[in-house]
A and B are shown apart, each in its own frame.
Chain A
Amino acid sequence: MKLLGSGIFKGMAVTLENFVRSYFDRDRKHHLFTKEYAWKSDAPADQLPARADTTVTTRSRNFPMLLHDGKGSEDPMASIRCVACQICERECPPQCIFIEKEYDANGKFVKRPVIFDIDISVCMSCQICVEVCPFDAIVMNSEFELSNNDRFNGLLVRRDALLKSNDYYHRIHPEEAQERDDRMAREKAEKEAKQAAADAAKKKAAELAAEKAAELAAAKPKVDPAAPTATPQ
């Protein structure tokens, strides 16, 4: 026979234990999950992404960013991965991406975006753009300090603000970035191997053709060695 109301008292004992242990447990890591905000009161605005390194888990994501492979102070547009194929623009469920292709003076498409805007007031952080991108050019950022006084222009992130180096990506999402790099390297190696195989096959075919031609050439003189007029024009 259970004591009346013992279930409630048992539950209350559990919550009281959690309450007390959250204050007095020496090994707090297992009892308080909150990661506190790293205050840097005098940090300039351009250092804000560094905060994301320290205060956000490697699994967090909020809005997309564009990747480039440049190092240090190189021009990010020189090594931008995006080729302005506009797949993400078409797949984006809330339609928050706007892309315009870049053309050179002759009107030739140079496979770079001249405009790449993401309206983060519309973006729903679904990551579909990341999944559809065949060039690994767009990934999720974990920067969270995005509050702004200008609700129209301030929340429309332009291409140059979206561009982040692969090193930054490695810093905020190390495992995911490593995985992506490994996969890209593997795919590249596979492609090269395929290319090499194709080249080899081509070479072989060419060799075969040459051999055949040589054979033919060798056979021809037997048939008609002294007939230069027979060569095709």
Chain B
Amino acid sequence: MIDTLIHILALTAPVAMIFASLFAFTTWLERKILARIQNRIGPNYINIPFTKFRKTFGLLQPAADGFKMLVKEDIVPHGADRFLHLLAPILALVPAMMVLCLLPFDLPFANESMKRIHAAALDNAVLLFFGITSINTLAVFMAGWASRNKYSLLGGMRAVAQMVSYEIPLVLSAAVVIMAVGSLSAQKIVAAQSTHWFIFTPWGLAAFFIFFIASLAETNRSPFDLPEAESEIIAGYFTEYSGFKFALFFLGEYLSIFAINGLAVTLFFGGGNGPWVQAHPWLSCVWFLAKIFGLIFIIIWLRGTVPRLRVDQLMAFAWKFLMPLSILNLFVAAVALKVQQPWLTWPLCALVLYAAAHGLSRLQQKNVGPRTYQYAE
């Protein structure tokens, strides 16, 4: 019993710690990339305390930020629900940490006996993943409601609408992979992609696009950052959070980005599979992280490019575009898996999916014309 617990801790604690430290690096990376996109330099020197050495490329910025967060005053608004106000950031962080342990992230030091009792090598890992991440919606709404602030509440309401809507295309696009593998186990999904990643199939490519867009909305990332739209509703559900509680929210947000991109890597990019993994098994976790960071780069790149959507555009995009397309993709995948002829399935699937996407986008643009202004001219 104690042995099992120790093994579980030995396998889960490093995962949580690795990703929590990568979170700091990611905030630095995000600031740097955004700065460079805008032709700025970004954080480039932070003094190492008690020395005159400051050319650290800004790598100590997250540490300085973290320290600042910790020493800041924790303010709870007058009339706020104190208990829920405290519970919300915890509830935002814990599911993100839990789902990280579900990823097929093989630690280099894990031997065979440890792997057998891997805390989260479950047969229904993907299902559990979606189940646990949906708690996040509750945390966000809880934060919005408990703050007793109209901006917070608006942000929370936007978040609920958005996260509930985008969960459907997210799950439907993941279902394609589950259909192809015939298992919900993350390890089995990775094993099925040892030679051929699902991103290199027509239905896999389409599913990845849908999954990626929906995952942006699930994690409230730009261009779907309506719940915390700072130019519209200050910071949405973050508005009344300061100090360590805000840090928890921030950490939870980035950990859920890692988690959902880890799932994308598992489903479409073959998890830890990659060159030389057969010879050196420890490379598996390096590949896994490298793929996650590739996706994170694209997310940051998108944030530096695309402006925020309007609320009605956001909902229409989820229900009128992504959901029909992901349902169609299920059928396309079923046919393609049955036919098993790449020279036939590629052009056919691409044609059907592209035609559908194009038609859906035309359908949405039907009533979009040149804008007319009633008062402004």
Query: Which residues of A are at the interface with B, using a C-beta cutoff of 8 A?
Result: 4, 8, 11-12, 14-16, 18-19, 22-23, 31-34, 36, 39, 41
Task: Please judge, given known A-B contacts A4-B357, A19-B33, whether A11 and B39 are in contact too, CB under 8 Å.
Answer: no
Question: Which residues of A sit under 8 angstroms from B41, Cβ to Cβ?
Answer: 32, 34, 36
Contact flags (1/0) for B349-361 with A, using CB distance below 8 Å?
0000010011001
Interchain CA distance A33-B36 in the complex, whole Å: 11
Q: How large is the interface on B (under 10, 10 to 19, 20 to 34, 35 or more residues)?
A: 10 to 19
Closest chain-B Cβ to A18's Cβ sits at a distance in Å of 5
Contact flags (1/0) for B278-311 with A, using CB distance below 8 Å?
0000000000000000000000011011100000
Question: Which residues of B sit under 8 angstroms from A18, Cβ to Cβ?
Answer: 36-39
Instruction: Name the interface residues of B26-46: CB closer than 8 Å to any CB of A.
Output: 33, 36-41, 44
Interchain residue pairs with CB less than 8 A apart (16): A4-B354, A4-B357, A4-B358, A12-B302, A15-B301, A16-B301, A19-B33, A19-B36, A19-B304, A22-B36, A23-B36, A32-B39, A33-B40, A34-B40, A34-B41, A39-B54
Total contacts A-B at CB 8 Å: 41
- Is A12 in contact with B38, judged by CB distance below 8 angstroms? no
Interchain CA distance A8-B54 in the complex, whole Å: 38
Does any Cβ of A come within 8 Å of B78's Cβ?
no
Does any Cβ of A come within 8 Å of B338's Cβ?
no
Closest chain-A Cβ to B294's Cβ sits at a distance in Å of 14
Question: Which residues of B sit under 8 angstroms from A4, Cβ to Cβ?
Answer: 354, 357-358, 361
Does any Cβ of A come within 8 Å of B371's Cβ?
no
- Is A32 in contact with B40, judged by CB distance below 8 angstroms? yes
Question: Which residues of B sit under 8 angstroms from A8, Cβ to Cβ?
Answer: 305-306
Question: Which residues of B sit under 8 angstroms from A19, Cβ to Cβ?
Answer: 33, 36-37, 301, 304
Does any Cβ of A come within 8 Å of B52's Cβ?
yes
Question: Which residues of A sit under 8 angstroms from B33, Cβ to Cβ?
Answer: 19
* Residue picked from A15, A16, A22, A31, most chain B C-beta under 10 Å: A15
